[in-house]
Amino acid sequence: MERMNETNELEEMRAQMALLKEKLDKEEILTDNLLKQAMTGKMSTINRYKWITLFAALFALTFGNLSWYGIGLPLRFLIGTSILMVVSVVATWIIHAKMDEEDIMNGNLLEVAKNAKKLKMQYITWQRIGWPVIVVWLAWFAYELLSLNHDKEYLVGLLIGCAIGGIIGGIWGHMMNRKVLKTCDDLIKQIEE
């Protein structure tokens, strides 16, 4: 009789353990899904900036080149600016190429962390290259603009307006880059935890 009670208690304990294991598995799946959703949000924030870069470059290529051509800036400047924009967009897309939300959904978090670290380093390198290139381009722009045979007051006013726009764009671009770097840091930290 005592043996029968022990067997029943053992079976009951096994059933409770199975139920507890099932609940823990569901909890782990739920936690994993919440983690994946949070990381997917971070990935979409990072990838949103490549689209912003594309649209900003397309705007600059069309509006900028048309308006600059209209005031008489030389073709070499327009072609050089267009090449610079295309290189910037291609580089941004290459940098973002490995940041794939599908890796998160497939549970390949180590790959995501590795790619986020790589993206962060490439962003830092890109900034180190980009700022000097922008300074050279701005000097070229100012030279070409002031070389035109227009009223000097108009050209200086145009140059000041472009400088203000450039400063606003530079600040906005720097803030975008900082947000991408912070999001990468958050993503890496979340994966490592």
Mean pLDDT across 16-26: 63
Q: State the pLDDT at residue 136.
A: 93
Cβ atoms of 105 and 158 within 8 Å: the answer is no
The model's confidence at residue 30, banded by pLDDT at 50, 70 and 90, is very low
pTM exceeding the 0.75 threshold for the entire prediction: no
- 3-class secondary structure per residue, 51-105: HHHHHHHHHHHHHHHHHHHHHCCCHHHHHHHHHHHHHHHHHHHHHHCCCCHHHHH
DSSP secondary structure code for residue 150 in this structure? S
Report residue 41 as tokens. 């949000």
Mean pLDDT across 150-176: 84
- 3-class secondary structure per residue, 24-60: HHHHHHHHHHHHHHHHHHHHHHHHHHHHHHHHHHHHH
Residue 76 has pLDDT above 90, yes or no: yes
Name, of 43-52, 138-147, 178-187, the range with top average pLDDT.
Answer: 138-147
Cβ atoms of 41 and 112 within 8 Å: the answer is no
Q: State the pLDDT at residue 26.
A: 56
Q: State the pLDDT at residue 44.
A: 75
Report residue 146 as tokens. 């002031």
Q: State the pLDDT at residue 49.
A: 80
Cβ atoms of 22 and 163 within 8 Å: the answer is no
Residue 5 has pLDDT above 90, yes or no: no
Residue 24 has pLDDT above 60, yes or no: no
What are the angstrom distances between the C-alpha of 79 and each of 57, 65, 129, 145?
A: 14, 9, 20, 15
Cβ atoms of 146 and 159 within 8 Å: the answer is yes
For 107-144, the pLDDT digits (tens) are 566 777 787 888 888 888 888 898 899 889 989 988 98
Q: Which amino acid is at 68?
A: W
Residue 181 has pLDDT above 70, yes or no: yes
Q: State the pLDDT at residue 80.
A: 93
Between vectors from CA 167 to CA 166 and to CA 170, what angle results, nearest 5°? Answer: 80
Residue 85 has pLDDT above 80, yes or no: yes
Mean pLDDT across 5-21: 67
